Amino acid sequence: MVKVGIVVGSLRKESVTKKLAVNVADLFPDGYETEFIEIGNLPLYNEDIDNENGAHAEYVTFRNKMKDIDAVLFVTPEYNRSMPASIKNALDVGSRPYGHSVWDGKGAAIISQSPSPLSGFGANHHLRQSLVFLNMQPLQQPEAYIANSWELFDENGKINNEGTVQFLQSVVDAFVELIQKFK
C-alpha cells in the first residue's frame, strides 16, 4: 500500500481548498491510501522548542507521521501571491533537525486554487521552490492551477464540472506514475 499524505494549506473548517482536496483524494487508484495531515496545530517553528534538549510534542508527532508517508499532495490557496504560512511552517518543522528532513526524496504534487482567474499561480511556484530545495520530487506536468474555485462545488461539496474532474484525474494519474518512479 502506498501512503499519500494530503497537506491542505487552508485551516478554515469549510474551506474551498479542503473541499477540493477531499474530491481529489477519491481519485487515487486501488493500492493507494490517502491521509489528511494536520498542520494547523504546529506551533510556529522555533529552535528554542526544538533543540538538543528535545522537541515540542506536536513537532515530534508530525515528523513521525510524515516518516510513514510515501508521497505528499499539497492543496493550497494563494495568500498574498504566495503559499499560506501554515504550509511554510510545516515544511520548516519537517525539515529539522538538519540532515533528518522528513521530506527528503519523496514525490510531491501541488494543486493550487483561487476564486480569481490567476488560480494560485504564485502559491504554486513559491511552494515548488521550497520542495525542490527540500529534495522532494515535484510533479512537473500537468501543472494544476484551479481558477474560479468557489463556483466548482455543488451543495454536497462535490465538483460540479466534469471537465475539472477529468483534469484532476489526469493530475492524480501523473502523480501516481511519478510516485512509482521514486518508490
pLDDT one-digit tens code per residue, 62-101:
999 999 999 999 999 999 999 999 999 999 999 999 999 9
What pLDDT band is residue 23 in, cutting at 50, 70 and 90? Answer: very high
Q: How far is CA 165 from CA 93, 174, 180, in A?
A: 33, 14, 23
User: Considering the domain 2-49+57-182 in this protein, what is its CATH number?
Assistant: 3.40.50.360
Report domain extents, the chain. 2-49+57-182
How much is the pTM?
Answer: 0.97
Provide CB contacts within 8 A for 150, sequence distance 6+: 16, 115
DSSP state of 120: T
How much is the average pLDDT of 51-57?
94
DSSP state of 4: E
